Chain A
C-alpha cells in the first residue's frame, strides 16, 4: 500500500514538473495580447510621477543570428520615441518564409510582419488577411516622404489600386562589373567596353596566366546563380552587366527590348544571341563553368580568391560588399559600367523602384496605428540612422547624413552588429540612399565616388515600374517553366541544340504564356518606363 502511494506521488510529481516546464516559456503573443499596459515611471530629477502609455505590438522581423534581442538598445529607443514596445519574433532566416506561412495559416499572425510582396502576399490580401493602409499613409509624413509612389507599387498586391503593406525602401542597384586591374596590366588590355572586348579579355585572363603562378588555374569571368522556382541558374543580377547589352535584365522584366517593345524574356529579340554567347564562353572554357550551380555569392568569393578576373557588382556597394569584406587592395580593382554590343551604344542601368521586402499588417489587429507609427519612425532620419547604425555616442561617434559617412571605432562597429543591422531596419534607404556609402576609409570612398560618377556619366538609366504578373508564370505553368529552365541550361552547356529550345519556346511556352505576355504589354503601356541619358 505504501509503495503504491509512493508510486502515485512520484507520478504526480513528474506531471507537475512537466507542466511547470511547459509553462516556463510564455508565449510572446499571449504576453502581447495581455497588454495595452500603462507603466508608471518616476522622473529622478523632479521626483514627479509621469504616466506613459506603452502599447505592445507583436512582429516578425528578419534578424541576423548575431543580434541579441534581450535588452536591445535599439528596441528600447523605439519604445522611448514612439511609445510602442515591439515583441519581436525572429524566426530562422533559412525558414523565414515557411514560418510566416505557418503563422498566417494557423491564425497566429502577429500585428505586423516583414515578407516579400509576392504571390503568397497577394493571396493573403485576396483573403482579407492584410490591412488596407491606403487611406492611413497620408497621416504619417515619413511614410509619404521616404517611400515614393512607385515604391508603393510593390504593395499594390491586387488590381484594385489599394496599398496592402509598407515597403522597406532600398536604394537603386546599378549593376556593372569589377575587374582585376593587375591582371589587365599583366595581359596588356584595357577595361572592356563592348562584348567583343570582354570576350577578348576573358580569353587573356584564362590562357595567359594573369596571376603569374605558371598554372592554368584562372578564368575570365564568373557569374552568379540562384536556384529558384522561376529561373534557371544562368539568370542573376550579377550577370546583368553582360545581358543588358542584349536588352535583357535577369530579374527586371520592365527593360524594353531593343526595338522598344515589352516582351517576356524568352521572346526578346536577342534572347537566343545572349544564350549563344554564354554557350560560346562555356565551350571555350573562358567562363567559370561551375557558375550554373553557384549559391549565394560564390562567384564573389572566387573573384576575391583570384580565381576569376571579372565579376558582376552593384555600383552602390562593391567597395563594402567585395573589396572591404574580403580585405582586397582597392587599387588592384576597377569598377566599370555595363557592356554594350558596339561602341556606339550606351551601357544601360535598369532601375525598377527598389524595395527590400515589405511590412504587412494583420487586418484583424487593433494596433494598426501603432504599427504605422513605428514604421513611420523607422523612415524618419532619426529612426533610419538608429536602426542602421545604433545609438549615437555608443555605437558611433559622429555621422554625416549628407555624405553618408560615419566615425566609429572598430569596437563600436563590432558592438552595433549585435544590436541592429540593415536587415532588421524598417528602411534600408533614406531619401534614396543607404546609411553608409562608398566604404570605411576616405581613400576607398574617394575611389568609389570617382568610379561610380564616371560610370553614371556614360550610362543610360531606364526607370521601370514594378512588374508583378511575370511571377504568375512559374505558379501557373510550373512544368513548362522547369522545362524552359532545363533547356536553357542544357543549351548553354552544349547538351541540346538551339532548334530544340526554339521549338519548345515557339510551340509550347509562347502559347501557354500568351495571356500573361499580353497583360504585361498592356501594363507597360499604361506604366511607361522613364529613360535618362
Chain B
C-alpha cells in the first residue's frame, strides 16, 4: 500500500499560502501607511496640508517644519538626554539583569525563595506615584538624569526571563567543570556563563533600549529642569495639546495658545522615532527569539 506523502503540496496549501500572504500584507500596509503619511506630511508645505489634509505625497519637499523644529533648544538637549539615558540605562540594566539573574537561577542559593518572592511582589504591587516621588527625592536623584535610569534599571519581568534563560541554557556540569579547574563564582559568571547568554543579552538590550527611549513619565515626575527632558517628553509637548486643568475654559485657553502646525508635529515624530527605528532591523532576529526567551518552565 502506498502511503500518501504528507509533504506534497495540494491546491489547498496554495490557497492558504496566498490567503496568508494577503492577510499579512494587509496588516503590514495598515502599519506602514500611517508611517508613510507622517513621513510625507512632515515634508509638505503647511498651506498644502491645509488645502487637502488627506493628501499624502507633497507637490514639493519642504524642510520648513524640520528647520523650525530643530531650532527648538529642547529638541537638541532632548536628543542628548535620550541617547545618554538609553545607552547608559541599557548597559546598566543588562549588567544588573545578568548579575542578579545568575544567582537567582541557583535553587541552592540561601533565601532563594524569599528573593524570588520579593521580585514577584514588585510585579503586582507598587507604592504609587507619591511614595515613589518621595523616595527619589530622598535618594537625591530628583532633577538628575539618574532619576530616569535607576528606578527602571531592573525590570522584574525581564529578571524572571533572564533567570529562566540562564537556568535552561547553562548546564550545571559546565559550571562544575569550571570549578574543578579552579574558577571562582565571578570568573564562572563572566567567563563561562555570560558568553552563553548572548541571545538573552541582545533581547534584553532591545527591550531595555526601547523602554528607556520611550519613557517620559519619570521625566515628568522627577525632573524640574527642562534641559533634562528626554526627547519623548519634548515630542509629547509638541504633538499633544491637552492640559490637565479641570476648568474647561482654562483647557481651551491653554490649548489655543500652544497649538503647533500639523506638519511640525509630524516632523517631530519622525525625528523622535528615527533613531530607535534604525536599531530595530539589526535587533529584529533577537526580538523573535525574545518571544520564547525563558519560556522553559523550571
Judge: A and B partners, yes or no.
yes
Interface residues of A (CB under 8 A from B): 7, 18, 21-29, 62-66, 68-70, 89-99, 102, 105-106, 108, 116-120, 170, 224, 226, 228-231, 235-237, 250-251, 295-297, 301, 304-306, 321, 326-327, 356-357, 421-423, 471
Which A residues lie within 8 Å of B74 (CB)? 65-66
The answer to the question of B47 belonging to the interface, with a C-beta cut-off of 8 Å to chain A, is yes
Pick the contact of B246 from A69, A97, A237 — CB < 8 Å?
Answer: A97
A94: shortest Cβ distance to chain B, in Å? 5
Q: Given contacts A117-B247, A236-B248, could you give 15 more A-B pairs where the C-beta distance is less than 8 Å? A: A23-B144, A24-B144, A25-B225, A28-B224, A66-B72, A89-B224, A93-B258, A96-B245, A118-B250, A120-B246, A230-B248, A297-B259, A301-B53, A422-B257, A471-B247
A307 to chain B, nearest CB (A): 8
* Complex contact A68–B73 (CB within 8 A): yes
| B197 at the binding interface (Cβ < 8 Å) | no
- The distance from the CB of A485 to the nearest CB of chain B, in whole angstroms, is 12
**Does chain A have a CB within 8 A of B186?**
yes
How many Å lie between the Cα of A471 and that of B50 in the bound state?
37
Can you name 25 A-B pairs with beta carbons within 8 Å?
A18-B146, A22-B146, A23-B144, A24-B144, A25-B143, A26-B143, A28-B225, A63-B226, A66-B74, A89-B225, A92-B233, A92-B236, A94-B236, A94-B240, A97-B245, A99-B221, A116-B245, A228-B248, A229-B246, A236-B248, A297-B256, A321-B256, A357-B245, A357-B250, A471-B246
Are A356 and B226 in contact (CB-based, < 8 A)? no
Produce 1/0 per residue, B213-224, CB < 8 A to A. 000000011001
A25 touches B246 (CB 8 A): no
Per-residue interface assignment for chain B, residues 254 to 275, with 1 indicating a CB less than 8 Å from any chain A CB and 0 otherwise: 1111110010000000000000
The 4 lowest CB-CB distance pairs between A and B, nearest first, are A97-B244, A118-B246, A25-B144, A65-B237
**A25: which B residues are within 8 A, CB to CB?**
143-145, 225, 228
A423/B258 in contact, CB under 8 A = yes
Task: Let me know if B13 is at the binding interface, CB within 8 A.
Answer: no
Within 85-107 of B, Cβ neighbours of A (below 8 Å) are at none
Instruction: Tell me whether B143 and A106 are in contact (CB under 8 A).
Output: no
Contact at A102–B129, with CB atoms within 8 Å?
A: yes
Given contacts A89-B224, A97-B243, A229-B246, contact A327 B47 (CB under 8 A): yes
* A residues less than 8 Å from B258 (CB atoms): 64, 93, 423
Q: Interface centre among B53, B146, B240, B253, by most A CB within 10 Å?
A: B253
The answer on a CB contact under 8 Å between B240 and A116 is no
* A10 CB, min distance to chain B CBs, angstroms: 12
Q: Looking at the complex, which of B17-25, B132-140, B163-171, B276-284 is the stretch in contact with chain A? A: B132-140
Give A143 Cβ to nearest chain B Cβ, in Å.
21
Nearest residue (CB) in A for B131 is: A106
Q: A18-B146, A98-B244, A102-B133 are in contact. Are A116 and B250 (CB under 8 A)?
A: yes
Please give the number of chain B residues whose Cβ is less than 8 angstroms from any Cβ of chain A in the complex. Answer: 56
| Closest A residue by C-beta to B236 | A94
A-B pair number, CB within 8 angstroms: 149
Q: Is B241 at the interface (CB under 8 A from chain A)?
A: yes
B50–A305 CB distance below 8 A:
yes
Contacts of B145 in A (CB 8 A): 21, 25
Complexed CA–CA distance, A326 and B4 (Å): 71
What is the minimal beta-carbon distance from B216 to any residue of chain A, in angstroms?
A: 8
B82 to chain A, nearest CB (A): 15
Question: Which single member of A27, A65, A231 contacts B248 (CB below 8 Å)?
Answer: A231
The minimal Cβ–Cβ distance linking B50 to chain A, given in whole angstroms, is 5
Which B residues from 166 to 191 make CB contacts under 8 A with A? 186
Closest to A64 in B: B258
Q: How far is A18 from B145 in the complex, measured between Cα atoms in Å?
A: 11
For B142, what are the chain A residues with a Cβ–Cβ distance below 8 Å?
Answer: 27
Q: How far is the CB of B263 from chain A (nearest CB, A)?
A: 12
**Known contacts A25-B143, A170-B253, A251-B248, A65 near B72 by CB under 8 Å:** yes
A411 to chain B, nearest CB (A): 13
Bound CA–CA A68/B237 (angstroms): 14
Contact between A98 and B220 (Cβ–Cβ < 8 Å)? yes
Which residues from chain A contact B73 at a C-beta distance below 8 Å?
68
Chain B residues lying within 8 Å of A62, measured Cβ to Cβ, are: 254
Contact indicator A93/B254 (Cβ below 8 Å): yes
Write the chain A residue with the least CB distance to B219: A92
Please, how many angstroms separate the alpha-carbon atoms of A102 and B245 in the complex?
14
Contact status B220-A95, CB under 8 Å: yes
Residue B298, interface by CB 8 Å: no
Closest to A423 in B: B257
Residue of A89, A91, A96 with most partner-chain B CB within 10 A: A91
Using A25-B143, A26-B143, A108-B137 as known contacts, say yes or no to A94 and B251 having CB atoms under 8 A apart. Answer: no
Could you tell me the distance between the alpha carbons of A471 and B227 in the complex, rounded to whole angstroms?
Answer: 37
Rounded to whole angstroms, the CA-CA distance of A7 and B186 in the bound complex is 10
Q: Which residues of A contact B129 (CB under 8 A)?
A: 102
Please state if B234 and A65 are interface contacts (CB–CB under 8 Å).
yes
B141 within 8 A of A: yes
**CB–CB B143/A65 < 8 A:** no
**B50 & A295 in contact (Cβ 8 Å cutoff):** no
Does chain A have a CB within 8 A of B238? yes
Interface centre among A94, A105, A422 (most CB of B within 10 A): A94
> How far apart are B73's CB and chain A's nearest CB, in angstroms?
5
Tell me whether B220 and A23 are in contact (CB under 8 A).
Answer: no
Which of A24, A69, A106, A236 has a CB less than 8 Å from the CB of B252?
Answer: A236
Q: Are B53 and A305 in contact (CB under 8 A)?
A: yes
Q: Tell me whether A296 and B259 are in contact in the complex, defined as CB-CB below 8 angstroms, given that A23-B144, A25-B228, A65-B74 are known contacts.
A: yes
Given known contacts A94-B236, A94-B240, A99 and B134 CB-to-CB distance under 8 angstroms: no
- Min CB gap B69→A, angstroms: 10
Residue numbers in B under 8 Å from A116 (CB-CB): 245-247, 250
Q: Does B242 contact A (CB under 8 A)?
A: yes
Q: Is residue B249 within 8 Å, beta carbon to beta carbon, of the partner chain?
A: yes
Give the residues in chain A near B139, CB-CB below 8 Å. Answer: 22
B130 at the interface (CB under 8 A from A): yes
Give B182 Cβ to nearest chain A Cβ, in Å: 13
Contact A28 B226, beta carbon cutoff 8 Å = no
| A486 CA / B41 CA spacing, docked (Å) | 35
Chain A residues whose CB sits within 8 angstroms of the CB of B186 once the complex forms:
7
Q: Least Cβ distance of B46 to chain A in Å?
A: 8
Q: Which of B137, B240, B250 has the most CB of A within 10 A?
A: B250
Whose C-beta in chain B lies nearest to the C-beta of A115?
Answer: B245
> Which residues on B sit within 8 Å (CB–CB) of A64?
257-258
Whether B237 contacts A27 by the Cβ 8 Å rule is no
Contact B133 A119 (CB under 8 A): no
- State whether A94 touches B243 (Cβ < 8 A): yes
A326 B50 Cβ-Cβ under 8 A? yes
Residues of B within 8 A of A69 (CB): 226
Contacts of B250 in A (CB 8 A): 116, 118, 356-357
Q: A66 vs B261: C-alpha distance in the bound complex, in angstroms?
A: 13
Q: In the bound complex, do residue A228 and residue B130 qualify as a contact, i.e. CB atoms below 8 Å apart?
A: no
The residue from B146, B253, B259 contacting A21, defined by CB atoms under 8 A apart? B146
Bound Cα distance A127, B236 (Å): 33
Residues of chain B lying within 8 A (CB to CB) of residue A93: 237, 243, 254, 258
- Cα(A357)–Cα(B144), bound, Å: 30
Interface centre among B139, B144, B252, B255 (most CB of A within 10 A): B252
Contact status B130-A92, CB under 8 Å: no
Is B259 a contact partner of A96 (Cβ separation < 8 A)?
no
Give Cα distance in the complex from A108 to B130, angstroms: 11
Residues on the A chain within 8 Å of B133, using CB: 102, 106
A21 to B228, CA, bound (A): 13
User: Which residues of the other chain, B, contact A250 by a CB distance below 8 angstroms?
Assistant: 248
> Measured between alpha carbons, how far is A119 from B247 in the docked complex, in Å?
9
